[in-house]
Chains A and B, each alone.
Chain A
């Protein structure tokens, strides 16, 4: 046993390397700077039959093994990490679930064009409240007979919006945790399926990453992947394999940085000889090479196990965790060897240094990889407490209790109804505060989100702010990326907190960090064209509509004339937050007064939290005085 790749593997590597050096390397810096997707290169990869490496020829694949696939990702990432992840997300995440769980019909319809590289695939699992913990999934799919209706959203989705085919996870049975999640194949272009932010990332900038938004998207019954409730299982199995792709990507990034550093160390002369021959640098290179070899053996071995249908979950986690950890170390050392030169834009090690970081984060953070590995060593923890996977929960809106009165339909009628409601709540629109009142001191704020569109539309915000007697605020991207307003005007957990009375959010979708910044507002008004935007679950009044239409109407209705100077703010009343409903009655011991609380259970007697009193074993006794169950009375 030589732990070596075959000649075929090395031939494939040579082919990929030549392609990457020729087609991608010359533009890698441009793609990075411009946040551009390498459309040309991806198209050519498809033509070369490399977008479906591990899938059988009958489904349009190359019929090669997992190791070949890992080598392909590695070689692309060696030149451009973004290209590596495009392939990895397409093959491992977008295509594999269909290959493994799809019906013949689904494979023919979706896998074949994916494997041929005619279509690009992506995988939609992550949500704002469901990252490492899929049990927090909030996207829903409601059974409507011959189709499901999909509502919700996904964030951080690799290959979106370029991808054509999406495997999306949604809750079909609420309140039973991960067992209620199902997987669906969703096509780009379906009504109600839109894309949100294209993220401005630190690295892997040639890959595209965006938000998925589902607004009453009709998904035909035949696009359910596997059975209802299989979603979590499918997601976990997919990620087991996906880790090999990311491990290969991390390995490739590190390999690229290492080779670049070796070359530079041989060229750069200081103190009369190439720095590579200074011990400080030579030892670095030795360590880098050793780490690379370790990582490569881990990655290839995991791929080989998967190919041979041996258990590989732990090994792929080890490979992903180790390869990405050392990718950070190796790229860091490479940049260090370059010295000041490596710190400049345009140097490949500078890009690789940034690119490497994502590999310890996505497709399971390295902390989660260690959880996976430890669970293989130790088995399941003896008692499970908390955790959304094991217990259902109903998350409260970030902004607490809100009226959530939505006005739909005719814009003028909606605006009139809103103004009437606000006046009834006691808002006086004959008075106002200056538009530049600092957010924390403002009684009212009109805020702009990215949905406001081009900068000229800020005129609408200014007019509305005047009419509402409010100061002007914004979401973070509007201040930070678009620079429509100064940085001290963006509202959110990391920005300014609004604690006044009236907050009017225009074109703001309602990211959690933004919502946390307005949770003390007495009244939240949302105006957004996406009826499923989180802001509507967090508002008192909402108008679903286009800001271009609604804002001028609203300004007109509130009064565009001169405003009197507002008196000192009187904070308006907020409703009480609801109490958590008990899961069952408490019982009190007649021997000592001990109270059995089902939410807590009885740890010492190995009674899990959440156990109802009726469900306690017959021989359970009071933990304080040892009286039997019959001595308890209901509280």
Chain B
């Protein structure tokens, strides 16, 4: 059964929702699913903007057949070649032998690399600032390298104000019938997953996102719809979304608050983390989020690390090193280019306590523009009452650094 929604006159959402995939990119859990968005413009020519994951290809085809009727599909614009959007290209090429492809040079290269038989079709290679007319609609292409692949571009339709934004402004969570941002409680139900999507998928490329936001600022007043490849279409409150993107891509925290991530084998480090959380709340900072790194997928940890201004890492010493899961969290923060955070460290070791020094070294040497507070809490096996003063000192140091 077809499942389409009208975005605006002559423009339709023809994508699909996916609740069966458990791991996005085979790494990030998506318990609430994801949508693969594709958009069909019915002008003098019929134009499809991007395709969908292979698992959703049948739905896309049914949607296209429903809307096209007897018409053929004339053009396919590929903004992003990652297979969750590009995998269905080959099938479309077979079904529509006269299909014209419009993409960047690198996108065509990737199509060939992935084994799609594009040669023999009309291929239009576009770059920044090029335009293309389909009848009443003329679109302009905007290069978006490394957001988050090198071939990526955005397409802007001046006639209806639709910006096809590729992976930018996307989010996890299946649409499940809703399409527009004003049809969901975004800030309440979607923001955490949108942040988790951005930070884990695009987080590393903040400077390129900033560059893109700079370009978007020039046409902001003309944008009526932001049509991303995942998640809702934005037709209101663009300022809210851009503000979030600006913060994330500048690595500026959204909240003055504390994320406490602990690695605890038998609950002793956990107890210290909990005691610290309670102290912070007592002192007036209730924006405290506590996570056990061992049973929290790192993509959630990354998302929270981008959200809060302060991060407490509490880790046991394991094989004279940092507890592996904590180490993995640190490595991921580095990989995703997280910057400008204040860290506090809690270390535990029963015979040779190393984790604090090693975490400090990692943060100082491997990460950018991070501050590690001097007040480190060290414990041997468990936190005893005589360390209450130090625990308090650590909490005070965190509170102090939040004020300055």
* A positions within 8 Å CB-CB of B: 568, 570-571, 573-574, 576, 579, 588-593, 625, 631, 633-635
Partner of B369, one of A579, A588, A590, A633: A579
Report if A590-B374 is in contact (Cβ < 8 Å); known contacts: A568-B389, A579-B369, A633-B211: no
B211–A570 contact, CB under 8 A?
A: no
Which residues of A lie under 8 Å from residue B386 when comparing CB positions?
568
- Give Cα A571 to B393, complex, Å: 9
**A-binding segment of B60-68, B202-210, B232-240:** B202-210
State whether the Cβ of B191 lies closer than 8 Å to any Cβ in chain A. no
* Bound: A593/B390 CA distance, A: 42
Which residues of B, 182-231, contact A by the 8 Å Cβ criterion?
A: 204-205, 207-208, 211
* Nearest A-chain residue to B106, judged by Cβ: A591
- Give the number of residues in B that approach A within 8 Å (Cβ atoms): 18
* B371 lies within 8 A of chain A by Cβ: yes
Q: A residues within 8 A CB of B374?
A: 573-574, 576
How many Å from the CB of B158 to the closest CB on chain A? 25
When distances are taken between beta carbons in the complex, the residues of chain B under 8 Å from A631 are 145
Chain B residues with CB below 8 A from A635, complex form: 207
Contact of A570 among B150, B371, B393 (CB under 8 A): B393
The answer to whether B397 and A590 have CB atoms under 8 Å apart is no
CB-based contact B145/A590 at 8 Å: yes
> Bound state CA distance, A589 and B150, in angstroms?
9
Which residues of chain A come closer than 8 Å to B397, judged between CB atoms? 573
Contact of B150 among A573, A579, A625, A633 (CB under 8 A): A625
Chain B residue nearest to A592 (CB atoms) is B150
A591 and B389 within 8 A (CB): no
| Closest residue on chain B to residue A522 by CB atoms | B374
10 A-B pairs within 8 Å (CB atoms) are namely A568-B386, A570-B389, A570-B393, A573-B374, A573-B375, A589-B146, A590-B146, A591-B145, A592-B150, A593-B208
**Contact at A593–B205, with CB atoms within 8 Å?**
yes
B393:A588 contact, CB within 8 angstroms: no
Docked complex Cα distance between A635 and B209 (Å): 11
CB closest residue in chain B, given A590:
B145
A568 to B387, CA, bound (A): 11
User: Contact mask B364-382 → A, CB, 8 Å, 1/0?
Assistant: 0000010101110000000
B371→A634 contact, CB < 8 A: no
Among residues of A, the one whose C-beta sits closest to the C-beta of B397 is A573
What's the Cα separation between A314 and B151 when bound, in Å? 58
Which of A568, A570, A593, A635 has the most chain B CB atoms closer than 10 A to its own CB?
A593
Closest to A625 in B: B150
Q: Are A593 and B146 in contact (CB under 8 A)?
A: yes
In the complex, the answer to whether B145 meets A634 with C-beta atoms within 8 Å is no
A634 touching B393 in the complex, CB below 8 Å, given contacts A574-B374, A591-B145, A625-B150: no
Q: A635–B208 Cα gap in the complex (Å)?
A: 8
For residue A634, which residues in chain B have a CB less than 8 angstroms away from its CB? 207
User: Which single residue of chain B is at the shortest CB-CB distance from A400?
Assistant: B374
CB neighbours of A570 from chain B (8 A): 389, 393
Query: Inside 8 A of B371's CB, which chain A residues have their CB?
Result: 576
Shortest beta-carbon distance, A34 to chain B, in Å? 49
User: What's the Cα separation between A591 and B393 when bound, in Å?
Assistant: 47
Contact partners of A588 in chain B: CB under 8 A? 146, 205, 207-208
Complex formed: what's the CA distance from A589 to B145 in Å? 9
CB distance from B327 to the nearest CB of A (A): 22
Q: A441 to nearest B CB, angstroms?
A: 14
* A574-B374 Cα distance, complex, nearest whole Å: 7
- Which residues in window 342-397 of B have CB below 8 A to A? 369, 371, 373-375, 386, 389-390, 393, 397
Q: Given A573-B375, A576-B374, are A633 and B389 also a contact pair (CB < 8 Å)?
A: no
B341 to chain A, nearest CB (A): 14
> What residues of B have a CB within 8 angstroms of the CB of A591 in the complex?
145-146, 150
Of B205, B208, B371, the most chain A CB neighbours within 10 A belong to B208
Interface 0/1 of B31-65, CB less than 8 Å to A:
00000000000000000000000000000000000
A-side contacts of B393, CB under 8 Å? 570-571, 573
> Which residues in window 97-150 of B have CB below 8 A to A?
145-146, 150
With a 10 A CB-CB cut-off, give which of A590, A591, A625 has the most chain B CB atoms.
A590
Sorted nearest first, the 10 A-B pairs with minimum C-beta distance are A590-B145, A635-B207, A591-B150, A574-B374, A593-B146, A588-B207, A633-B211, A590-B146, A570-B389, A633-B207
